Chains A and B, each alone.
Chain A
Amino acid sequence: MIHTLQQIFHSGKFKLGFAIFTSLLAFIFIYPIFIPEAPLAILGQGTFFPPGIYVNVYDSLDTSKYIINQEGAAKRRIANKLSEDDRVAIKEYLVAAGVDESRIDITNTDELLQQWKATFDPKRSIKGFTNAKRNYYIRLNTALQSLYSTGPAIIAVNDPETNTLLESKKVTVTEYVNVNEVPTVRIFPLGTDNFGRDMLTELVAATKTSLQIGFIAGLIATLIGLTLGLLAGYIGGFVDDIINFISNLFIVIPPFVLLVLISFSIGQEQRGASTVAAVIGFTSWVWTARAVRSQVISLRNRDHVNLSKLSGHSIPHIILTDILPYIASYVIMAMILQISSGILAEASLSILGLGPKTTEVPTLGLMMNWAMIYQAQLQGNWWAYFPVLAVIALIAFSMNLMNTGLDQVFNPSLRD
């Protein structure tokens, strides 16, 4: 036993797969201890906040101020104030006023504003521009003047008695707050999803449910496949014929089609995570059963089985002690594959909208489904789907690595 374990951990592939998988597991279990938040709690009003540190503006006013003179701060401030729309509008004016288009770079704030200053003339009328448009550019020009203003901003509160604004604070351009001192800061390491939920918290919970689904599905599939395979292989005859008939049915109808049909007929309301897991398990045992059956057939006429018969052992005893241990390594490998394909099956089902019902727990597949429905990929909100894909890939990759590693241990001809 210890020897086998040593051999297993001697395989580099298994070690790598095992390391990836256990760190994933460790993260899933440690994360909720530090951030015990409901994974489906809606925090943000709005969709797809990008990853980053969010500082409460209101509270930062009351946080102690530090004066810092930073070179380049003014430049960045102006660049930040000039919105994308304004830049495009400026460009349009410049082009219409005869500036060479190749010389205009709307990402270069400094140059753009200089070109604007040199070209803009409120009195000049440009062909094709309506009056309204001319007025718009005049307003834009005034607004651009204020870009350069460095006067303090005044924070006022409403006096309810007199209904007038009272100056309460002044904020100057060189004032800073320390983020650590602001009492209300929220970090979204992976941003938020379309409902404004913290992606990372959700992802951790989803990984956990998906692993559970995969594990339950793999366990069910392996148990069914193992039992039927053992019976068909060892007893043979009529039992074998019946089991063969059932497996052939499952092979003729591709398991995924069956999965889709069953999930659909169960209905959205009845589909909890464990139901989906069970359905996946019940539709994917066929190959395990087939493989176990053929292994048992090659084993049942071996001399050690004959010796066991001659020693007066019963059929169940022979199956459990003379057949099962010989195929155990194979069954474990098959189960690892079943688990990872169970996770993938859940993801595929959920993307089609046939996954577990959406109100209880997140799963990796559901997260993909949400990202897809809210078109995260079209808006460039990579954080809504890329981490999910990465986790799915990581799970499948690590499990397959472990599997190949085991294969090398159990099947000496594959050792490198």
Chain B
Amino acid sequence: MAEKRKLCLSAKGLTKVFGFGKTRTVAVDNVDFSFYEGEVISIVGESGSGKTTLSKMLLGLINETEGEIFFLGQKRDIRSQRNKQEYWKNIQAIFQDPFSSYNIFNKIDSVLLDCIKMRGGGNLPKEKKIEMMREACSFVNLKFDELTNKYPFELSGGQMQRLMIARIFLLKPKILLADEPTSMIDACSRATILDMLMELRKEIGMTVIFITHDIGLAYYVSDSVYIMEHGKFVESGTPDEVILHPKQPYTKRLINDVPKIYEEWDLSTVG
């Protein structure tokens, strides 16, 4: 890339340890990285490699055991509740499991209203708020007028994740952490949701940190790819470098695990 890339989120020696003694797990093990503004960064790894733990630390939802996180080149300080709330205006997330992401006692419009309030729109006239929510919903192909007075659990998994994207649409954060947003839904809505995410990214120009275990997907959407194994980044670079010319055996295995539709299955190995 020709222009100078601006640092957006970076970390040094980031470590997270759960438990102690016999139950001690090092979920994230001394990782360093630099994510640049406007890019799509993919973090790929198999289940249990520490992807979600890393993203929760980046979001400031759990404390790091060791290491430092830098936001826009500055050391991040979110010890006070106030700083945290300020930080969360810049960084947002879509979680892995849409079914547990919503408070089952709150109606859908309150989810979207919170976003408007967070952007300082709490005092806007009611009509204006409704118009904004309607716009956000239509962006993700949901009909706002059918959703008011409904509860999140009355939606399908795909609709819930689309509602999550509508949230991001209203919040317009600098960084979005999407933690396997499509792993719990069917292949058909998966494509739609990815399309919407990428379109939204273009529209508001945010950095997207895309967490997935599907290395093929990472190849198509990202500007840089990080491969994670047992809490460590074992390989990183552009998709071409990492996926077309993998150096690590772990990366090769991840690539080989992707089923290839046009390849004939070797049935002799089965049974």
Residues of A within 8 A of B (CB): 301-304, 306-315, 321-322, 325-326
Contact = CB atoms under 8 A, between A and B. Distances in A.
Contacts of A313: 114
Given A312-B118, A313-B114, A315-B81, A307 B101 contact: yes
B269 interface: no
A108 B171 CA distance: 97
A133 to B, nearest CB: 88
Interface centre among B61, B89, B117 (most CB of A within 10 A): B61
Contact of A303 (B84, B100, B106): B100
B95 interface: yes
Interface in B83-121: 84-85, 88-89, 92-93, 95-97, 100-106, 111, 114-115, 117-118
B95 A303 contact: yes
A311 B114 contact: yes
Nearest to B101: A303
A311 B102 CA distance: 12
Contacts of A325: 103, 105
Contacts of B95: 303, 306-307
A312 B91 CA distance: 11
Shortest Cβ-Cβ A-B pairs, 3 listed: A311-B114, A312-B118, A325-B105
A311 B115 CA distance: 6
Given A303-B100, A306-B95, A307-B95, A312 B88 contact: yes
Contacts of A307: 95, 101-103
Contacts of B97: 303
Contacts of B89: 312
A310 B102 CA distance: 12
Interface centre among A302, A310, A312 (most CB of B within 10 A): A310
B59 interface: yes
Given A302-B100, A306-B95, A311 B105 contact: no
Interface string B153-175: 00000000000000000000000
A144 B163 CA distance: 100
Given A310-B59, A312-B118, A315-B81, A304 B101 contact: yes
Contact of A304 (B59, B100, B114, B118): B100
A309 B115 contact: no
Contacts of B93: 306, 310
A332 to B, nearest CB: 15
Q: What class of interface size applies to chain B in its complex with A?
A: 20 to 34
A326 B114 CA distance: 20
5 contacts: A303-B101, A309-B88, A310-B88, A322-B103, A325-B103
Interface centre among A302, A312, A322, A325 (most CB of B within 10 A): A312
A297 to B, nearest CB: 14
B63 to A, nearest CB: 11
Nearest to B95: A303
A187 to B, nearest CB: 53
Contacts of A308: 103
Contacts of A322: 103
B117 A312 contact: yes
Contacts of B103: 304, 307-308, 321-322, 325
Nearest to A307: B101
Interface string B57-83: 001011000000000000000000100
A304 B102 contact: yes
B101 A312 contact: no
A322 B114 CA distance: 14
A313 B114 CA distance: 9
Nearest to B117: A312
B81 A312 contact: no
A351 B117 CA distance: 59
A321 B106 contact: yes
A117 to B, nearest CB: 88
A309 B87 CA distance: 11
Nearest to B119: A312
A309 B88 CA distance: 8
A306 B62 CA distance: 10
B81 A310 contact: no
Contacts of B81: 314-315
Nearest to B102: A304
Contacts of A301: 62
